[in-house]
A and B are shown apart, each in its own frame.
Chain A
Amino acid sequence: MWQGHELFLSSLPKLVPYIPVTLLCFLAPTAVSLVLGTLICRIRVGRKNALYYITSLFVSFFRGTPGLVQIFLFFFGLPKVFELFGVNINGWDAVVFYIIATCCNFSSFVSEALRGAYEAVDKGQIEAGYSIGYTRFQCFYHVIAPQTLQIALPNLKNLEIDLLKGVATAYVIGAIDVMGAAQRIISQHRGYGQIWILLAAAALYFVMNVVIEAVFNFLTYICNRHERVRI
């Protein structure tokens, strides 16, 4: 046992180089979902046309099935789909498949968080925007988006934290992030002292989460300025 913490300390520098991969698997879906999630949300609060039903199906699939299953489906399924068009993507890194699957999954969750928030925006604010002559885009950009985001922030924060922790599942398809690297070290040690190596990985995820939480708390602080009144 007394050697455990040494293993913990010696694994840390071996895991740290994989933090960028973890961050990539976290930031790429975050960025994509801001755009894709907003688009899906926009479609789902609008008229019930074909696009509405297609996106609804998309959202229910990705929200209703386990992320782990989706990762495998993309990892094994996507090359088959590309094969139909004569493109071979078997050489792609597993990280790419993880990111594509997660972008779809995460955008679905983000779109639902945004939709709930949009519905909670006071419609009087939107009308006030139109009354001073805003175009639809100006109203979206200056009134709807900031207020929707403010309402959605607590939910988004929870989703982002889950997203980061979820990256740990990427190793199942062979993507090497912090968790994947930890698994590798464990097998090099033939399973010996795996708890300490896993704890090292846990510590790194924890630190990254603390940063994410701080960023979101800061955003919330800024967005809620107007509610901290000085009366």
Chain B
Amino acid sequence: MPMVELKQIKKRLGGEDVLNGVDLSVGEGDVVVILGPSGSGKTTLLRTINFLNPADSGTVTVGGLTVDSAKHHHKEVLALRRKTGMVFQNYGLFKNKTVLRNITEGLTVVRKIKKEEAEKRAYELLEKVNLADKAGAYPAELSGGQQQRVGICRALALSPEVILFDEPTSALDPELVGEVLKTMKAVALTGITMIVVTHEISFAREVADKVVYMEGGVIVEEGTPREVIDHPKDERTLRFLRSILEDSMDYMI
């Protein structure tokens, strides 16, 4: 049984069809990378999964819990959110809380775990991303890369069944992208299910079990990285890949 399953997800925003019936199935422990041009609906799709922005229709299943977007009860949504974690493009750390509190909050408030135990878990995670010495710092004192690694720790702390990443590296200075991607690779190796929106083709190639190409609110093509990135069948996928590869060439020059 798939860990995450989306069926016929549709959404209109500002009088436009942003998602036109998306079906997606993600196996347990799989890493799925979603590619697509700006405005293709990637962020919107990700946010319909944890109901930050519910779809108009379609069903979302996470870890065996199915919720109908059209008629969802807030208790169902809460249960579903507690099975998912999210890493935001702009990190989304609680800016008035220390790094440690950012990570322990979910454990103590949502899981009702004792403070000491929560802090122990937080330190374990911070050790893994080499940020234990920043536990007492506020987000504003950290670099973007450090903040994003804390964001990943915060999501991981709650041991979700799936983590959603929305362009986790696109707000970062180029020299900080590597450290975050490295952390994400380490997370992938732990066997947790991940859905990642990113333009980092090399990450997709190395880590993804499945690559999905979206355009105009539908999935145009999906398959292994080899199939989609190296041998795209659809004209649109090819055009998109060419454009971002050219961009990165410009970058190198």
Are A127's CB and B52's CB within 8 A?
yes
**For B74, what are the chain A residues with a Cβ–Cβ distance below 8 Å?**
136
Are B88's CB and A225's CB within 8 A?
no
Q: Which residue of B lies closest to A125 (CB)?
A: B94
Q: Is A135 an interface residue (CB 8 A)?
A: yes
Q: Is B50 an interface residue (CB 8 A)?
A: yes
Are B140's CB and A229's CB within 8 A?
yes
Residues A133 and B82 in contact in the complex (CB < 8 Å), given A147-B96, A229-B141: yes
Q: Is A159 an interface residue (CB 8 A)?
A: no
Are B105's CB and A131's CB within 8 A?
no
Of A5-13, A56-64, A138-146, the one touching chain B: A138-146
With beta carbons under 8 angstroms apart, the residue of B82, B86, B95, B110 that contacts A226 is: B95
Chain B proximity of A28: nearest CB distance (Å)? 30
- What range describes how many residues of B lie at the interface? 20 to 34
Chain A proximity of B104: nearest CB distance (Å)? 11
Interface string of A110-134 (1 = CB under 8 A from B): 0000000000001011011111111
Judged by DSSP, the binding face of A is helix
- What range describes how many residues of A lie at the interface? 20 to 34
Instruction: Identify 20 residue pairs between A and B in the complex whose beta-carbon atoms are under 8 Å apart, listed by A's number.
Output: A124-B88, A125-B95, A127-B52, A128-B92, A131-B52, A132-B81, A132-B154, A133-B158, A134-B109, A138-B109, A138-B110, A143-B94, A146-B96, A223-B96, A225-B138, A226-B95, A226-B139, A226-B140, A229-B140, A230-B141
Interface residues of B (CB under 8 A from A): 50, 52, 74, 78, 81-82, 84-86, 88, 90, 92-97, 105-106, 109-110, 137-141, 154-155, 158
**For B139, what are the chain A residues with a Cβ–Cβ distance below 8 Å?**
226
Interface residues of A (CB under 8 A from B): 122, 124-125, 127-136, 138, 142-143, 146-147, 150, 223, 225-227, 229-231
**For A122, what are the chain B residues with a Cβ–Cβ distance below 8 Å?**
95
Q: Which residue of A lies closest to B141 (CB)?
A: A229
Are B109's CB and A226's CB within 8 A?
no
**For B110, what are the chain A residues with a Cβ–Cβ distance below 8 Å?**
132-134, 138
Residues A131 and B92 in contact in the complex (CB < 8 Å), given A142-B105, A225-B138, A230-B141: yes
Are A128's CB and B96's CB within 8 A?
no
Q: Can you list the 3 inter-chain pairs with the closest CB atoms, starting with the nearest? A: A128-B92, A132-B106, A131-B86
Are B92's CB and A127's CB within 8 A?
yes
Chain A proximity of B139: nearest CB distance (Å)? 8
Q: Which residue of B lies closest to A150 (CB)?
A: B96
Q: Which residue of B lies closest to A122 (CB)?
A: B95
Are A227's CB and B140's CB within 8 A?
yes
**For B155, what are the chain A residues with a Cβ–Cβ distance below 8 Å?**
131-132
**For B81, what are the chain A residues with a Cβ–Cβ distance below 8 Å?**
130-133
Told that A125-B94, A147-B96 touch, could you supply 13 new A-B pairs with CB distance under 8 A?
A: A124-B92, A131-B84, A131-B85, A131-B88, A131-B92, A132-B105, A133-B82, A135-B78, A142-B105, A142-B109, A223-B96, A226-B140, A230-B141
Chain B proximity of A104: nearest CB distance (Å)? 32
